[in-house]
Structure formats: structure tokens, C-alpha cells
Amino acid sequence: MNVILLIAKRFLMPRNMLEGGIINIISFIGLFIGAASVILSVAVLNGFQGILENETKKIYGDYAINNFDYTVDKELIDIFEKNGIQYAPYYEEEFFISKNKKQSLVNLKSVDSLKFKNFYDLELVSESQDLNHGEIIIGKSLADRMDFSIGDSISIYSTKLNMSYLAIPSIEELTIKDIFQNRILRSDEFLVFTVSKDYNFPDKKFTDIEIIGNIENIIPLPNEQIVSWQQRNKQLFDATEIEKKITFFTLFLIIVVASFNLSSSVMQISTKKTREMAILSTFGMSENRISRIFLLYGYLLAVSAITSGILFALLVIFLQNTFGIFMLNPDFYLVSKLPMVISFKDIALLLFYSVIIIGLFATLPLMLIKKIRPIELINKNI
Amino acid sequence: MILSARNLKKTFQDGDNTLQVLKGVNFDLDKGDILTIKGASGSGKSTLLSLLGTLDKPDSGEIIINNNNLKTINNYDSIRNKHIGFVFQFHNLIAELNIIENVTIPTLIAGKNNDTDYINKLFEYFNLSNRKKSFPLDLSGGEKQRVSVMRAIINKPSIVIADEPTGNLDEKNAMKMIELFKNLNADFNLTFIIATHDEKVFRIGDKKMNLSNGTLKEV
């Protein structure tokens, strides 16, 4: 066995474990808690982010093609049909929705009536996604806020205020066919669905098309025309990513603080083992190799603590996903159990940053070691 | 010649005072010699051993160990590892390592693989075969000092430097240690430099020298 590893290991795990000192235990616990906290917190954020992604895809599909011209781009439809890609042509515009003097701004999405039922995965109150011309499906938050119920008749008119020949806005009367629930508040509050058969509702053609499936290298369109679901909800997902990063780095501070203890541990062991350093030096071990023993000592202590923390977090995530230990109120959180998703990228990042921080904090005491001259101890007969 | 010391001088500064500990030490040693050195406390025995053991550098003079002139060498670590074995007054075993690990530390430092046959024979020779997996705390004082001698000779060094090797042993164990040095010298043709206050140890030297007033004189 490598002599440096052998000695570092034995210093770390002496026959009497209490010899290692309370400071080793504190370092271990600090790093353990830090690593476990980072992984668990990020797993929860990943879980909620995953729910948001699913909810987004339910109403936006995977991609959208903008400025779609149904007559010119007919060949695209053939490509979709041939490759088994689901698609839904639609037209989207802001409208006012009103009933009994209450009104609200909504984003009306008028979808090809032949595609609507199978393309969107809406959680509906009545669980029937049949929508006909003259009917509308609205979000639950909007329904609650406006006090709308299924079967109510509502009026809609464009924000662009298209006037009729009598100089009054064109108003359409629609019946609320159903109410959907989506965990993304923006959709639940502002998005409404209608269908159109003739691609001309209301007085507009379908301008965009939503797609479910992988269309990379299949569609002969410029990239700027194709928008993914992430790009369409960039603000939302940028915000969740920033939240994840802030959480990661905030909790990583626990590891940084615990690294101070690690530094003390290395300092303690190196000052306690000056006699052993002198012995090793007399038998020809260089100062650098002696320093590496204490560096490795620090790494062994820290890596074992961080690995244990990660394994503990993985165990908690496994138990949560299997048995649902932490339950949530679905009325408030929209999910019944705390979602947790393991991200191996985050684990790798944690290990990478930890190695750097540990290296830094374990190296600091080595500067002190360099000041210890074994010769002085040997001359005093050690 | 296995070791040659020429006009070694060493001075220490103690505040404003300059203390010249060695004022020109000269001697030669052949392979298989036992050199015993005695002298009063503070006469410079340990300083001389430190210079000969490459743990410190002389202010002037030269040391040649097995044809290696230390003046021409920058890194003494490998010289110490290959050519010199140390035995101290205290055993200085590493408490966390078991006996076989303590003994083989110099081999591991050299980056060599342990020669199991050689190690087993050495343990038999020192009558410590049943102690290989024990830890220093489990051994008696005499056993610990024998282990430290075994550690000193594991790399088959050119010279074994022993500073008061019996200083911490009782009469019985001190006698055993003296016998051990004699036997090692006879059986392995090992060269010893021993600094001691103990007259019995001093008498085992082929060359007996007294360090006094900074110079070494044959007795």
C-alpha cells in the first residue's frame, strides 16, 4: 500500500477512535449535513421543476412553430403525419372576457377542432375534452376569480377592438364547457381554449402550430421559427434555475463553514504528530510527502463525510419516492407528496466544488507544518 | 571505506553568544566497524550524529558516505533512506501502525515492495515473529526497542546510527540490546556508530572515541 495513504488512513482511524478528537467528529458532521442538505434541497427543487415542466408540456407541447402558414406549409403537415408527430395548429390572441360587468384579460388559444381533444392533456373538472364551436374551456383560477361555472355564458372581445359596421366591438358569446386545472398559475389564470374548424376563428387564420415529439433534423425550417417549451416559458424556468443555483450555493456555505473545522482537524493532527513527522523524515520521507499525508488526511475525512451525506440524501430520496414519507396538502402545494428528483449533475457539481474547497482548507495548515523542522525535534531526541 | 568525516565544524548561535560545538572532527570508518562515542552531556554527540545522519549540515568540512560526498548532493532524503538507519534513545515507533508496518516504513518510503521472505527472516532473527500484527502499545520496552532496530536495518543501510540506544532500557534489556548489536555486526557485517553514556555499550566498539571540547579523540 502507498505509504502516504497508509499513514493518513491510520491517523484518521486510530485504534481508539476517540483519539481523533471531537473536532474530527464536528468536521464530519458539518460536512455530512452540508452535503445532505444540498442534495435534498436541490432534489426537492428538481421535483417541483419537473412538475412545472410536465404541466407546461401539457398545454404547450414540446415545440411551437411560429408564423405557420397553413396553405404554404402544407408539406410540414405531411412530414408530421409521416413521422407520427402529434401537432395542433392554433391561433392565440389577447381577449377580454366578461360576464355580469366583471371582465378579465385572457389569452385565447383557438385550436384546430380535430386536434384539440388528443393533443392537450388538460385536467378537467368533467374529464371530457370534447369542445365544440361556441364553447370555451377556462382555467380554475380564472373561474374562481370571476365566479364562472360550467354552463355559464360569457362574452369575449378582442383587445384590438375590431369594430362592426355599427362601430361597436365584435363580441362573441361562448358557453363555458369545462374548467381545467394547471399548476402553472399563469395558465390557470389567463389561458382559455376554444376550437375552430375553418381556421378562421375569430376572423383569423391559424398562425402557429404546437408539436409533441422530437422534430430535430426533421423539419426544414429556420431555427428561429421553432420555439421549444422552455423558450416559450423562459422567465419561469430561468427563475427556477436561479432559485436552484442560489439554494445550492447557500447550502454549500454549510460545507464551507464545516471546512473551517476540517482545517482545525488537520492543524490539530499535524501539531499532534510532529514526532511522527520527525521519524518519517529521519527515514527519508521528504517534506512534501509528509505534507501530503496531512492533505490526504483532510481529504479522507472530508470526502468520507460528504460521500456519507450524499448517500444519506439518496437514501431519503429513495424512501420518499417509494413510501412517500413527507406528505403535502395538495390543495396548497398541488401535489400530495413532496417531489424529489435526483440530479447526478448536481452531485457531480457538489463533489467538484467540495474537492476545491477541501483542498483549500486542508492546505492552509500545511503552511504551518512547513515551519516545523524535524531536525530540531530529532536533536532533542524526539 | 564506508564513511569519512573531514574537519567537521558546527557552530550554534544562542542570542549574542556563539557556541562552537564541533571544532574539526575527523575519522574514517570501514564496513563492519563499530564506532562508539562517549562524551559529557552537551559535548556535541547528538550534533555529530545529526551531521553524519544527514539530518543537519556542517558549517564546514565534508562527509563521504559510501562514496557519496554530501557536498555534491542537494537532497539528503534518499541518502538517509538508502544508506542510514537510525536508533534513538526512545523507540519512536508510530503508535497507529502495527509492528510490521512500523518496520517496513523505510521500505515503503523508498517505494519498494516488501520482500516477505526477508522480512519473515528478520522477524525470526529478532524473535518477534508472533508480534507482527501487534501495535507498539502492546509491546514491552525491550521489544519496542528491538522493533526500532529492525526498522533501522530493514533497508540494509551502510551505517546504523544509534544515539543512546540503551538510555531508556533497564539493565537486562540494555544487555540484550548490546548483544543484539554485536550479533548484527557479526551476522550482517553492519556498521554502527553509537553515542552512549553507558560504559558497557561503549566497550563493544572496534573504535572507541571521546568527544570533548569539540574534537573527537580515540580512546
Task: Decide if pLDDT at A382 tops 60.
Answer: no
The verdict on a CB contact (< 8 Å) between B109 and A15 is: no
Q: Give the pLDDT score at B16.
A: 85
ipTM: 0.91
Asked if B19 reaches chain A (Cβ–Cβ under 8 Å), the answer is no
Task: Convert A298-313 to b/e letters by CB count within 10 Å (16 or more is b).
Answer: bbbbbbebbebbbebb
CB A263 within 8 A of CB A362: yes
Q: Work out how many domains chain B is built from and give that number.
A: 1
0.80 surpassed by pTM: no
Residue for grid cell 543512546: B164
The partner residue sitting opposite A279, judged by closest CB among B50, B89, B94, is B94
Overall average pLDDT of the B137-150 stretch: 94
Task: Decide if pLDDT at B92 tops 60.
Answer: yes
Tell me the three cell numbers of residue A109: 388559444
Task: Decide if pLDDT at A170 tops 80.
Answer: no
The verdict on a CB contact (< 8 Å) between A381 and B151 is: no
pLDDT tens for B106-136 read 999 999 888 999 999 999 999 999 999 999 9
The verdict on a CB contact (< 8 Å) between B47 and A275 is: no
Measured between beta carbons, the chain A residues lying within 8 angstroms of B164 are 381
Return the CATH number at B89.
3.40.50.300
Measured between beta carbons, the chain B residues lying within 8 angstroms of A10 are 94, 96-97, 101
The verdict on a CB contact (< 8 Å) between A7 and B96 is: yes
More confident: A75 or A339: A339
User: Confidence class of residue A315 from pLDDT cuts 50, 70 and 90?
Assistant: very high
Domain that holds residue B203: 3-218
Q: What is the Cα–Cα distance from A143 to A188, expressed in whole angstroms?
A: 9
Non-local (6+) Cβ contacts of A172 within 8 A are: A155, A156, A157, A202
CB B27 within 8 A of CB B83: no
User: Confidence class of residue A143 from pLDDT cuts 50, 70 and 90?
Assistant: very high
Q: What is the Cα–Cα distance from B147 to B143, expressed in whole angstroms?
A: 6
Residue for grid cell 529492525: B150
Tell me the three cell numbers of residue B73: 548532493
pLDDT more than 70, % of chain A: 87
Pairing type for strands A191-196 and A135-139 reads antiparallel
Q: Name the B residues in 91-150 with CB < 8 Å from any A CB.
A: 92, 94-97, 101, 105-106, 108-110, 135, 137
- Distance from the Cα of A280 to chain B's closest Cα (Å) equals 8
- H/E stretch holding A249 reads helix A234-272
Task: Decide if pLDDT at A201 tops 50.
Answer: no
Non-local (6+) Cβ contacts of B128 within 8 A are: B99, B143, B146, B147, B150
Taking the CB of residue A332, how many other CB atoms lie within 10 A of it? 7
The partner residue sitting opposite B77, judged by closest CB among A6, A15, A284, is A284
- Distance from the Cα of B172 to chain A's closest Cα (Å) equals 23
Tell me the three cell numbers of residue B99: 509492528
Task: Decide if pLDDT at A168 tops 70.
Answer: no
Task: Decide if pLDDT at A371 tops 80.
Answer: no
- H/E stretch holding B150 reads helix B141-153
Q: Give the pLDDT score at A200.
A: 47
A328: phi then psi, degrees, rounded to nearest 5: -125, 160
Task: Decide if pLDDT at A233 tops 90.
Answer: no
Q: Which of A19-33, A273-287, B83-97 has the lowest mean pLDDT?
A: A19-33
Tell me the three cell numbers of residue A75: 408539406
Q: Name the A residues in 264-303 with CB < 8 Å from any B CB.
A: 275-276, 278-286, 289
Q: Give the pLDDT score at A18.
A: 64
